[in-house]
Amino acid sequence: MNPIQTHMPTTARNTATLDTVAYAVGQSAIGKILAARSAIGVCAILIGSDAEALEQDLADRFPGKVLVEDEAALRGDLAAIARFIETPGAGLGLPLDMRNGTPFQQRVWEVLRAIPCGATITYTALARRLGRPNGARAVATACAANAIALGIPCHRVVRADGTLSGYRWGIERKRALLDKEAAI
């Protein structure tokens, strides 16, 4: 069953802007990327190996939204994401819609966005910055809930000993992203 809806009833068109998420799938140096945009900004950047799995992940993250594949509208976003993966020092430069999270998750994501390219932070240090010195596990959970890979750079969070830990998009992708950033 395809989770993506491409047609909407006439009565729903008036609220389509608020209830619609446009998306497109492209290719990057680290695999397939799915970019999705609401009326506010980019609400998802998903990374994987299979376009259908990425589409299903998007549908799971945005239940009740009308998902519309629109490659033409997202061509620029996909190009910006692929460019960022290759040259992270240039920045991503896309407006983000981070409303799809709890207030705590949104606070974690805001702090993550302030971490400079090429730098890392530990889960514990991030929890301390948020005023929750014992909240490393909650921070890790917020990172795992992040739907905007790269825009919210969860890949910059490491274990207390500096080693890489789990990354929703795969540990090898995390390593590749950090290696690219370290080369700046």
Active-site residue, from 43, 117, 143, 154 = 154
Give the list of residues 6+ apart from residue 7 with CB closer than 8 angstroms, or none.
Answer: none
Report d(CA 148, CA 155) in Å as an integer: 11
Least Cα distance to 141 among 114, 109, 184, 175 occurs for 109
154 included as an active-site residue: yes
Contact present, 178 and 156 (Cβ < 8 Å): yes
Tell me the pairing of strands 31-37 and 20-28: antiparallel
- State the catalytic residues: 154
